[in-house]
Every structure is written in structure tokens, then in C-alpha cells.
Amino acid sequence: MNPNKAMIKVSTHARDKVVQMMQDDGVDMTSHFVRVGVKSGGCSGLSYELKFDTALGDDDKVFEDNNVRIVVDKKSFLYLVGTTLEYSGGLNGKGFVFNNPNANRTCGCGESFSL
């Protein structure tokens, strides 16, 4: 796996949370990565997926930012170029947030978007 220059950024707070979650789940950071994707659904038409994975597909793109390896399938990549993965732990809720410059509209929960 030869990671490309990051086309998907990871904030420091998101990196810290990913590392903590991997450690809590007993996941090895050297063999696992964060898979980010887009699927149909959500209140704005498209929603984000985020999970730990070890299997690479033929069309996957691999990135690394802030010491976090991120893998995106080719179709999702088109929607995610330039996105920053952030983590919000404030009063409005806790969780990963996608700061996506390609989204024309997002829902109030930040988990779905449209182009």
C-alpha cells in the first residue's frame, strides 16, 4: 500500500479519536485503516460511511493524513475530494463530521448531503 498525498484531510481531534477508538476496539493501526464512503440515503440524498477495514478493493484509493490511513472506493472518491474529517464533541452532539466542500446542501445532523 503506497498512500497518496492526502485528498481527504484528518483534523488533529479526529485523528486522536480514531486512534483512541482503534485502541479501545483492539484494532491494529498497522494492518487496519479507516474506510470512508458515500451511499444513497439520508435526509439529503447521500450519506457518509465510516468504518475500520483491512481489505483493499481493486478500485480503492489510499491516502494518509495526520498519521491516519484512509481508503476510499473510486465512486465515493468523486464525492469526497477535498473533504476534511473532523470530530465534534460539543453540546450539539458527538461524532465524526465531514467538512465537504462539494456538498451544496447538508442536513442538520451533518450525516447526509446533496450535490
What pLDDT, on a 0 to 100 scale, did the predictor assign at position 35?
95
3-state secondary structure of 101: coil
Cell of 28: 491494529
CATH number reported for the structural domain that contains residue 52 in this entry: 2.60.300.12
Domain of residue 42 covers: 4-114
What pLDDT, on a 0 to 100 scale, did the predictor assign at position 39?
84
What pLDDT, on a 0 to 100 scale, did the predictor assign at position 45?
72
What pLDDT, on a 0 to 100 scale, did the predictor assign at position 1?
46
**CA–CA separation, 82 and 40 (whole Å):** 20
| pLDDT tens, N- to C-terminus, the chain (115 residues) | 445 555 889 999 999 999 999 999 998 888 999 999 988 865 657 788 999 999 999 999 999 999 999 999 998 998 898 999 999 876 666 788 888 887 765 555 455 444 4
Structural domains counted in the chain: 1
Q: How many helices (H) and strands (E) does the chain have?
A: 2, 10
Q: Classify residue 82 as exposed, middle or buried by CB count within 10 Å of its CB (0-12, 13-18, 19+).
A: exposed
